[in-house]
Structure formats: structure tokens, C-alpha cells
Amino acid sequence: MLSALLALALPVVTAFITPDAIWGNNCVRANRGIYCFGGLQPGPTISTKMYHLDISTSWDSTAPPWSDLSDSNSSTTVPAINSAFAGASTLSDHSNILVNGGSTAPDLTAVSSSTAQFDTRTNTWSVPVISDRSLKQSRYYHSLLSDGQGRIWIWGGRDTEQYYNTWAVMDTTTWSISYPEIPNAPGPRIQHTATMVPDGKIIIIGGLTYSRNVTDPLGGQILNPVSMADLLLFDMATAKWTNLTAGGNVPAPRREHTSVLSRDSSSIIVFGGGDPRFNNVNMNDVFVLNLTSLLWSSPSTSNEPPPPRKSHQAILVKDSMLIMFGNNGEDSAYNDVHIMDTSTWSWKTQYDINDDEPKDTESMGSSAGANNQHVMSLQAELATKALFGSIILASALAIIGLICLIGNIISYHRTKSRQRKSEAFDNVLSENYLQDIRELIRMGTLHSQLHSSMTPQKPDLEDDISSQKPNEQDSLP
């Protein structure tokens, strides 16, 4: 009995796990959690794990609330999940996650073209039946983004033999794939980031481009680092590429970095990445690209930053940018979580939702290797604000119209009231005048008065207005 009472009195402690150290995996925000899967483990080996990080409650970065979903979702039966450097994004329902491609071999000698879908409501994987059976191009190190309209945009990357600069567009409402031919396409690129901004455009930053080797007299091609000043802009509406040049404090070239769209969608925040020239030289700096001025800046951050890394993950929840996992050398990795407050540019240890509890409509994310989360949530938020604005405007116009109507009604009634009073007064005067006439007739004086009034009289000089000069004091200016 006593033991039962003690059991009831003690708080329930939830057992959280410590995830494996991984790099080149995918982390995607869906509902009130972050789902991370795939990647490479030291060895190296392909990870078959799937982890969930709860962001609906507050926690300390030294003990984040991770849980292991690997035993409940049969991840080992889905080829697409057991890969590294794949592409992944949340779908428009905010509950399903789509993952495509990736390398299925630790030495990156085998590449998948498969597509799989994870339902966060049931924690189950499924493989959609695509009309073309699978993508014609197997890729890893590519970009994958959702436009919030049911389409997945895949660009760049490579397989075991070639590099890509082409688009593959997957329609998740019909599970069909198209391969649009875009004129003036840039060169093939890998290990970049792709960030979708709310006006339906995609910005490509950094990475390596497969281009001509300027030192080769035969004109061979090699992987060359891309300047962070050289940006690519793709307009999904017009299917047009544009080259942009950024200025300001331009970051050093990098690959396998992360990019997230700021909460107010005014800038792109870049963290970390690897030096393209040296495999074991990584970065832990923060740079911000202003989307209006196209100027780079490096905010002055406070507190201890994360260790340098590449092939990591970044997810923005409200103002908190979460940095997770990553590679710190040839065959070593991280399993930590770091938190950057982008409103103060300070690294903090506490993830605190307080009154700012995260919602599905307010999350942006990006993983290294160019797997950026979609901005459909922000588009939905902006649409909601626009709807509320329209409602407020319509309500204001209705109130103004009602006030005008009431004013017109009051004015009408006042006018009618004055008219009625005037008519009543005239009626009283007419009645009194008739009574006077009747009285005069009765007294026999009407005839004499009328005769007197009709007799011509010479005007009195003092009463002749036309003969008087105006009085200076009475004259109007």
C-alpha cells in the first residue's frame, strides 16, 4: 500500500535517449517535432536510425528530449531512409515528410533514386507509386524543396558518374515527375544550400561547381569552390535563372554549410560549413545575407559557439536556430544541439517556448548539402494576415458606410422636422390673418383702410432711402 502511494506521489520521469553522432543526415520540422534520419556514422557506416526531438516543451541543450523511432517505423525496410546526403522536406499538410535519393554506400559509390514518405501522425514509412516508377536521375548532395503547392523541386547534385544542373519537379498530388528544360542554366553544383523565399524564388548559395579547370590546357573540368558573393536566383513562376552579386562582408567560400530564412523573411542566415580546399578545416561562424540590399554581414555573437562543423543540420523555430549533428573531421561527428537566438545573436543553452509556443506555420530549416525546408508555412501566415487585413478593411468600410447612412437619416429627419414646423407656423399665421380680416369686415373698417392705402403719397424726405447718403459707421467694409 505504501509503495503504491509513493508511486503516485513521485513525478513521472520520461526517459530520453542520446542519439548517435551523425553527419550528412536530414532533419525536418513537422508538427511540433524535429525528425532526423539517415546519414553517416563514424566507421563510416550508413545510419538506419530515426530520431525525434520534442520542441513543444522547454528544455536545456545539455539534455534535449530525443526519442528513438527506429523500432516503431520499420525504417530498415525503406531503402530511401538508409542513405546519406539525401534530400528531404515537409509536405504541404505539415504532417508528411518526403525524402529522395542519397548515397546508400559509406564510400558514396552507390546512389539511390528512390522516394519515400514518412507520416508523423502514425510514425510509418511508405513508398509512393510514381508514374515514372522512379527518378531518372539518382542524386546525392542535391537540393530538395517544397513549394507548398504540392510540388517538390529537386536541383543539382551528382551520382557516381556525373554532376547535374537540371531540375526534376515531383507533383505529390498525382505522384508524377517532370523534367523541365530551363535555358541558360548555371553549371552543375553540389554541397550548396537552397533557400526558398516567400515570393516564389529559390536562392542558391555556396558549394562546389563542376566547371572548367583553368589550369588544364586541354580544358578539363574539376570541382571549383563558388564565391559566396555569386548567388543564383531561380524564379519558379517564370522558370528563369538570374545571376546575383552580393556585397558587404562576404563570407569565405564554403561547402556543406546550412542556410535558414529569418523569421521575418528579410534575410538568410548561414552557419558553418567546410573549407573547399581542405577536407578537415571547418567553420563555426554566422553570416547574414540581407535580401533587399544583397549585402552580407557578420553579426557580433555572444557566448560560446558550437565547435566548427560541416554536414550538419539547422532548423529555425521562431527566433531560435537549432544547430544539430555534423562532421568535425575525417571520420568523427557530433550528436549535440546548440541554440542561437537570432533576435539577440547570442548562443544560449535553454530552449524555452514560454508564450511563444512553436506552431506548424512558423518553422524554417535547412540541412547541409542543400536540403532547405519549404516556406509554405510563412506563405500561409502571410495569407492569413492578408485575410485578416481584408476583413478589418471591409469592417472599417462597413462601419464608415453605416455612419454615413445614420448621418443621412438624421439629416433627413431634421430637414423634415424643420419643414413640418415651418408649415405649421405658416398655417398658424394664415389662420390668424384670416381671423383678422373677418374681424375687420365685421367692424366695417376694411373698405376705408384699403382706400387709404391705395391713395398716392409723397415720400417723406427722411424716409427716402434713395436720397440718403450712407452712414460711415453703418457701412460694411
Residue-wise pLDDT for 89-120, tens only, equals 999 999 999 999 999 999 999 999 999 999 99
Residue-level pLDDT at 403? 60
Residue-level pLDDT at 48? 92
Mean of the pLDDT values across residues 457-466?
Answer: 35
Mean of the pLDDT values across residues 10-22?
Answer: 73
The pLDDT mean for the chain works out to 79
Helix (H, G, I), strand (E, B) or coil at 237: coil
Res. 343: pLDDT tops 80: yes
Q: DSSP E strands: which ranges in 56-173?
A: 59-60, 66-68, 87-90, 96-100, 115-119, 124-126, 143-146, 151-155, 167-171
219-258 as b/e, with b when 16 or more CB fall inside 10 Å?
eeeebbbbebebbbebebeeeebeeeebebebbebbbbbb
Residue-level pLDDT at 42? 95
Res. 6: pLDDT tops 50: no
At position 34, the amino acid (one-letter code) is I
Q: What residues contact residue 412 under an 8 Å CB cut-off, 6+ apart?
A: none
Q: Helix crossing, 376-443 with 446-453: angle to 10°? A: 110
Mean of the pLDDT values across residues 276-285?
Answer: 95
Residue 390: half-sphere exposure toward Cβ, Cα within 13 Å: 6
Q: Is the pTM of this model over 0.85?
A: no
Residue-level pLDDT at 216? 81
Give CA angle at 441 (440, 442), nearest 5°.
90
Residue-level pLDDT at 212? 82
Residue-level pLDDT at 358? 42
Residue-level pLDDT at 467? 34
d(CA 96, CA 240): 29
Q: Which of 152-156, 342-346, 434-438 has the lowest mean pLDDT?
A: 434-438
Residue-level pLDDT at 52? 97
Residue-level pLDDT at 417? 52
Res. 178: pLDDT tops 70: yes
Give CA angle at 53 (361, 141), nearest 5°.
80
Q: DSSP E strands: which ranges in 325-410?
A: 337-341, 346-348, 350-351, 363-367, 371-372
Mean of the pLDDT values across residues 37-42?
Answer: 96
Residue 443 CA: distances (Å) to CA of 83, 435, 436, 446, 448:
125, 12, 11, 8, 11
d(CA 376, CA 383): 10
Residue-level pLDDT at 130? 87
d(CA 69, CA 84): 18
Q: What is the dihedral of CA 409, 411, 417, 421, to 10 degrees?
A: -170
Residue with cell 545573436: 345
d(CA 288, CA 268): 6
d(CA 284, CA 314): 13
With 0-12 CB in 10 A as exposed, 13-18 as middle and 19+ as buried, what is 59? buried
Residue-level pLDDT at 324? 99
Residue-level pLDDT at 421? 45
- For residues 88 and 3, the answer to whether their CB atoms sit within 8 Å is no
* CATH of the domain spanning 9-374, picked from 2.60.120.10, 3.30.1490.20, 2.120.10.80, 3.40.50.2300: 2.120.10.80
Band (pLDDT 50/70/90 cuts) for residue 80 is: low
- Domain residue ranges of the chain, discontinuous segments joined by +: 9-374, 380-421
Q: Which of 83-92, 270-279, 385-394, 462-471 has the lowest mean pLDDT?
A: 462-471
Which strands form 167-171's sheet, in the order they lie side by side? Answer: 143-146, 151-155, 167-171, 176-178
Mean of the pLDDT values across residues 51-67?
Answer: 97
- For residues 126 and 116, the answer to whether their CB atoms sit within 8 Å is yes
Q: How many CB atoms lie within 10 A of CB 165?
A: 16
